[in-house]
Amino acid sequence: MRIHAIFHGRVQGVGFRYSAKQKAVELDIRGWVKNNEDGTVELEAEGSETNLQRFINALENGMNPFIKVTHIDQKTYENEAGYSKFSVR
């Protein structure tokens, strides 16, 4: 299973991408995360459905007190892209 998501809120300059990578490694999630010019953070992640849900829930609730997610645009896909690791772009 694969998820593509864009996170809105206070998500840049607060450790969001590195928190995402840390959680991804913990949950065996593969893919990538990057900052967008409009202040959002975009990610694509794949793994088991259970672990992907845990991953998105953790990111949505803020991995540290500085992160404040206000909205997530998310699409789910059945197929995987074949990522071998989780990277910060």
Residue 62 pLDDT class (50, 70, 90 cuts)? confident
Print the domain residue range for 33.
Answer: 2-79
- How far apart CA 64 and CA 46 sit, in angstroms, is 23
Amino acid at site 64: N
Asked whether residue 68 is assigned to any structural domain, the reply reads yes
Q: Residue 66 is part of a domain; what is its CATH number?
A: 3.30.70.100
Scanning the chain, the segments in alpha helix (DSSP H) are 16-27, 49-60
> How many domains in the chain?
1
Among 35, 51, 57, 89, the one annotated catalytic = 35
Q: Is 17 a catalytic residue?
A: yes
Residue 63 pLDDT class (50, 70, 90 cuts)? confident
pTM value is 0.94
> Per residue in 11-35, pLDDT tens?
999 999 999 999 999 999 999 999 9
Among 17, 36, 61, 79, the one annotated catalytic = 17
Asked whether residue 87 is assigned to any structural domain, the reply reads no
Asked whether residue 88 is assigned to any structural domain, the reply reads no
Q: Is 79 a catalytic residue?
A: no
